[in-house]
């Protein structure tokens, strides 16, 4: 623990201290490890012709012609055409009236911002004028603490605080890692690109190592758990009730689960399967066999929509087999919640489906034998462990439709055995994916009209809910209004988004499920948990703003019946988007996504903010993954002073992480 506090630090009055506390920063240690979320190397200047929409860029330009200024809805907009020797780009500044004079007087400018494209024209929205061509950290904003002040406070702390090393010296020297004090200084005040990369490597190595030690430490094969006697006749009864045959992959995975559940130690298994591979049918099989064995089962989903859908599916699939099912969510009426809690505690309820409400303190189970978490990428190790703690070491089944290359999954989920459903049910026709530029929108609308004339339905997904001045992305509300005035205006169109009231959201989704609406305009709230086999078209607006794996999840919302289905990506062609048009294999797409941009922070963000660069990057980090994997296993086998030191540090590390260990991009 670092000595001292914030006393004597200039610029930190009562209001600033409260602002830091609101951001979860209460100690010098927490502030020093509030690492930048990214770095911009302003010395890496690009030509306009080399700029790619959706990416940030630094360009050195001249103002072409005279800038313009206008008032729109009471706000000042300043526009200018910028050029270099390779081409032109349109730039817009919002609520910055002084920019007009700056641009008028300027000869040469260096600007930085996100490149956008509209109708084939490159655009910059609110670019920043750069004066210092150096590596500049960018922090997650803290309300009430300007970035300049934040950096000044960190500088003062670095000059006075003693930074305690957290990795043993043998680990540092054998791997050429920077000492912690040097690495922290470089993270905030980088001297050059090479040394910054060494600092990032040091903290990435530390995070990986502590994660491995924490994850492997949770897997205790010698624990006694719930052992369930399984009658083969029960499995046969379940599979025959489905009305369809399980694939060979589904049968194989169900048998692996059965073997685990009958063992003396509790099951801890991850089931991975691509969109539509039939993971739910396997999970329901495990739930049915658990109930037949005299135990209860709980299935936790990340959203109320998905929890509700699982409950409805269970009523159709499991209730006819005699399983008493219930739903438990945070928004349900108190009377209904109280009734469900009583049924769980008495054992009257045999299978419960819900959100994180399933792990809240007031929930007690009579005899929990199986805990299932769906959409694993939305939960973390501790969150799913909390569900498991509701019983006497029940079996734990984790499901994920976000494919992860097996080598990465084996390392990431050290506490879990892994099963993969690598086969789609027969009759599933691969979704056809096409890139559609804005100039082809009307032709696409005609195609959708024809599909709706056949009785089919379509989704339109947008990256934003409301219009933003800073992003030229089609918002859900704006698209909803414009579609009502377009060629699609004769159709019944619904709108759904995350912040809608649950009742309204459910009403719209249910109407779409029943076929009462032709089109559904939505944000990514429909990424999981919406199953409408009659929907044959998915349109993704501003597709360049989504990750490949997320686009693959959205594409999986269509093609769930036996009809031909289409996914239209509204964007200009890029290497990333072209990859999606070439395959429907989620594991290939996941690998490509990891190669192109990394998976984000595999370990979640620190309590105090974002840890820049602490993501696992396939290729360059695969050696480090293997190294920390082996070292963690060695540490857990030993009882040396070095091993005990790292175990203690890993326990402290885990307690400072947020609940989400693997977050979706």
How far is residue 52's CA from residue 637's CA, in Å, rounded to a whole number?
Answer: 49
- Tokens representing 415? 């506490």
How far is residue 474's CA from residue 410's CA, in Å, rounded to a whole number?
Answer: 38
- What are the pLDDT digits (tens) for 344-402? 999 999 999 998 888 888 899 999 999 998 865 444 555 556 666 677 789 989 888 76
Which residues belong to CATH 3.40.50.300 in the chain? Answer: 432-583
Count other C-beta atoms under 10 Å from residue 153's C-beta: 21
In the predicted structure, residue 661 carries a pLDDT above the cut 90: no
Q: How far is CA 483 from the centre of its chain?
A: 29
What's the mean pLDDT in 139-143? 92
pLDDT reported for residue 62: 94
pLDDT reported for residue 218: 61
Pick among 2.40.50.140, 2.60.40.10, 1.10.4190.10, 3.50.50.60: CATH of 43-129: 2.40.50.140
- What are the pLDDT digits (tens) for 558-613? 887 778 999 999 998 888 899 899 988 887 887 777 666 544 433 333 333 333 33
Give the alpha-carbon dihedral of 525, 530, 533, 535, to 10 degrees.
-20
What's the mean pLDDT in 320-337? 93
Q: Between vectors from CA 182 to CA 181 and to CA 186, what angle results, nearest 5°?
A: 120
Beta bridge partner(s), residue 94: 77
pLDDT band at 38 (very low <50, low <70, confident <90, very high): confident
In the predicted structure, residue 312 carries a pLDDT above the cut 70: yes
pLDDT reported for residue 500: 77
User: By C-alpha distance, which of 586, 273, 240, 232 is closest to 425?
Assistant: 273
Q: What is the mean pLDDT of the chain?
A: 84
What kind of fold does domain 432-583 have according to CATH?
Rossmann fold (3.40.50)
Q: How far is CA 594 from the centre of its chain?
A: 13
pLDDT reported for residue 470: 47
Which residues belong to CATH 2.40.50.140 in the chain? Answer: 43-129
| Angstrom distances, CA of residue 424 to CA of 232, 274, 286, 374, 428 | 25, 8, 19, 19, 7
Contact 369, 397 (CB under 8 A): no
How far is residue 498's CA from residue 426's CA, in Å, rounded to a whole number?
Answer: 34
- Tokens representing 406? 């097996």
Count other C-beta atoms under 10 Å from residue 516's C-beta: 12
- State the burial class of residue 345 (Cβ atoms within 10 Å of its Cβ: 0-12, 13-18, 19+): middle
Contact 570, 580 (CB under 8 A): no
Q: Which of 80-94, 147-161, 401-415, 592-606 has the lowest mean pLDDT?
A: 592-606
pLDDT reported for residue 660: 29
In the predicted structure, residue 651 carries a pLDDT above the cut 70: yes
pLDDT reported for residue 187: 95
Beta bridge partner(s), residue 614: none
Contact 633, 215 (CB under 8 A): no
- State the burial class of residue 148 (Cβ atoms within 10 Å of its Cβ: 0-12, 13-18, 19+): exposed
Q: Which of 357-366, 523-532, 624-633 has the lowest mean pLDDT?
A: 523-532
**Neighbouring C-alpha atoms within 13 Å toward the C-beta of 539:** 24
In the predicted structure, residue 32 carries a pLDDT above the cut 60: yes
How far is residue 648's CA from residue 634's CA, in Å, rounded to a whole number?
Answer: 15
What's the mean pLDDT in 239-264? 94
pLDDT reported for residue 36: 92
**% pLDDT > 70, the chain:** 86
What's the mean pLDDT in 460-471? 67
| DSSP run (H or E) holding 351 | strand 351-354
- What are the pLDDT digits (tens) for 406-434? 556 655 566 677 888 888 777 778 899 99
């Amino acid at each position: 623990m670092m000595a001292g506090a914030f006393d004597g630090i200039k610029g930190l009055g009562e209001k600033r201290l409260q602002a830091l506390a609101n951001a979860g920063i209460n100690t010098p240690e927490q502030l020093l490890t509030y690492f930048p979320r990214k770095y911009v190397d302003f010395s890496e200047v690009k030509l306009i012709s080399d700029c790619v929409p959706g990416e940030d860029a630094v360009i050195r330009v001249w103002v072409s012609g005279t800038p313009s200024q206008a008032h729109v809805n009471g706000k000042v907009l300043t526009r200018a055409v910028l050029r270099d020797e390779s081409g032109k780009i349109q730039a817009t500044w919002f609520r910055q009236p002084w920019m007009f004079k700056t641009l008028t007087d300027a000869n040469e400018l260096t600007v930085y911002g996100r490149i956008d494209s509209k109708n084939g024209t490159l655009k910059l929205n609110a670019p920043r004028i750069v004066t210092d061509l150096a590596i500049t950290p960018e922090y997650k904003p803290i309300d009430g603490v300007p970035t300049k002040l934040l950096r000044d406070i960190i500088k003062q702390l670095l000059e006075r605080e003693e930074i305690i090393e957290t990795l043993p010296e043998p680990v540092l020297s054998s791997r050429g890692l920077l000492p912690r004090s040097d690495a922290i200084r470089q993270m905030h005040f980088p001297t050059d690109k090479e040394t910054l990369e060494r600092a990032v490597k040091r903290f990435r190595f530390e995070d990986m190592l502590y994660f491995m030690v924490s994850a492997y430490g949770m897997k205790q094969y010698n624990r006694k758990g719930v052992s369930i006697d399984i009658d083969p006749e029960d499995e046969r009864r379940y599979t025959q009730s489905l009305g369809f045959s399980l694939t060979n992959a589904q049968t194989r995975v169900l048998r692996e689960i059965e073997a685990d559940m009958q063992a003396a130690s509790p099951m801890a298994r991850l089931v991975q399967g691509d969109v539509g591979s039939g993971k739910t049918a396997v999970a329901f099989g495990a739930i049915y066999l658990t109930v037949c064995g005299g135990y209860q089962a709980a299935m936790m989903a990340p959203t109320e929509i998905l929890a509700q859908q699982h409950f409805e599916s269970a009523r159709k699939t499991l209730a006819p087999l005699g399983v008493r099912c219930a739903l438990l969510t945070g928004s349900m009426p108190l009377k209904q919640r109280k009734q469900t809690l009583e049924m769980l505690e008495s054992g009257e309820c045999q299978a419960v489906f819900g959100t994180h409400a399933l792990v809240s303190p007031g929930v007690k189970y009579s005899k929990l034998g199986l805990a299932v978490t769906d959409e694993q990428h939305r939960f973390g190790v501790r969150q799913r462990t909390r569900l498991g703690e509701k019983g006497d070491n029940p079996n734990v089944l984790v499901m994920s439709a976000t494919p992860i290359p097996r080598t990465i999954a084996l390392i990431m989920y050290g506490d879990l055995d892994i099963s993969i459903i690598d086969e789609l049910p027969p009759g599933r026709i691969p979704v056809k994916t096409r890139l559609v530029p804005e100039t082809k929108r009307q032709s696409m609308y005609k195609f959708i009209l024809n599909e709706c004339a056949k009785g089919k339905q379509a989704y339109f997904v947008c990256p934003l809910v409301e219009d933003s001045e800073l992003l030229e992305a089609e918002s859900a509300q704006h698209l909803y209004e414009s579609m009502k005035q377009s060629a699609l205006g004769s159709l019944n169109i619904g709108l759904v988004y995350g912040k809608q009231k649950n009742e309204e959201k459910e009403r719209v989704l249910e109407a779409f499920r029943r076929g009462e609406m032709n089109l559904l305009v939505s944000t990514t709230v429909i990424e999981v948990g919406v199953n409408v086999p009659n929907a044959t078209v998915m349109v993704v607006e501003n597709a360049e703003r989504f990750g490949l794996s997320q686009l693959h999840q959205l594409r999986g919302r269509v093609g769930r019946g036996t009809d031909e289905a289409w996914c239209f990506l509204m964007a200009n062609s890029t290497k990333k988007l072209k990859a999606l048009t070439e395959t429907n294999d989620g594991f290939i797409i996941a690998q490509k996504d990891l190669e192109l941009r990394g998976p984000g922070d595999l370990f979640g963000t620190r309590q105090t903010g974002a840890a820049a660069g602490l993501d696992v990057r396939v290729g360059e980090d695969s050696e480090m993954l293997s190294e920390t994997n082996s070292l963690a296993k060695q540490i857990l086998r030993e009882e040396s002073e070095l091993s005990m030191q790292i175990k203690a540090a890993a326990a402290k590390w885990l307690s400072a992480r947020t609940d989400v260990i693997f977050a979706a991009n």
